[in-house]
């Protein structure tokens, strides 16, 4: 930023209104690049084995704040250690069954459902999931076939069962 101010012709001194729009634009671009670089370094640190608690300590924020600020946007996964809750954000009626298949194959058991969110825990066992429209009669029929009821969301009932594959 200071290089920009020094190399500008005429040099930017801040003595008049002229140049402030350009200075603000340059500062904004530098800040965006800094945020992007920080996010890339945090992601690399996570892949290298740093915990969210360690990243939070480095940045002077809590583990939870680090997770919320830097969790990967592309898949919305939030998790720290094995057995902890894994939250997938961005789930909706059009993509949630694909997310359920993916997480079930990873050995993650669906624990709860919320608005645009599915919550899992790692169990080391493969899971399969289904959803049905219906009430208690649907639940009884599904349970008779070995499915366990997880939750209802609107008219939909969600079920799970462990599989042999993993």
Q: What is the DSSP secondary-structure string of 50-68?
A: --HHHHHHHHTS-HHHHHH
Beta-bridge partners for 132:
157
Q: CA-to-CA distance for 107 and 100, rounded, in angstroms?
A: 11
Question: How many whole angstroms from its chain centre is CA 14?
Answer: 42
Question: How many residues are present in the chain?
Answer: 166
Average the pLDDT over 92-113 and give the result: 92
Select the more confidently predicted residue: 120 or 76.
120
Assigned token pair, 155: 């008219």
Say which range, 33-42, 44-53, 65-74, 127-136, has the weakest mean pLDDT: 65-74
> The pTM is what?
0.51
């Amino acid at each position: 930023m200071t290089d920009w101010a020094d190399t500008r012709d005429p040099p930017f001194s801040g003595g008049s209104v002229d140049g402030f729009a350009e200075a603000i634009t340059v500062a904004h671009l530098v800040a965006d690049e800094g945020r992007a670089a920080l996010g890339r370094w945090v992601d690399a640190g996570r892949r290298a084995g740093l915990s969210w608690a360690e990243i939070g300590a480095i940045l002077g924020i809590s583990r939870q704040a680090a997770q919320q600020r830097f969790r990967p946007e592309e898949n919305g996964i939030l998790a720290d250690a094995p057995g902890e809750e894994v939250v997938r954000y961005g789930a909706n009626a059009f993509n949630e069954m694909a997310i359920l298949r993916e997480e079930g194959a990873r050995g993650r058991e669906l624990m709860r459902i919320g608005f645009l969110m599915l919550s899992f825990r790692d169990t080391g066992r493969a899971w399969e999931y289904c959803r049905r429209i219906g009430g208690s009669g649907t639940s009884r029929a599904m349970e008779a076939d070995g499915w366990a009821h997880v939750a209802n969301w609107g008219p939909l009932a969600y079920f799970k069962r462990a599989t042999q594959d993993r």
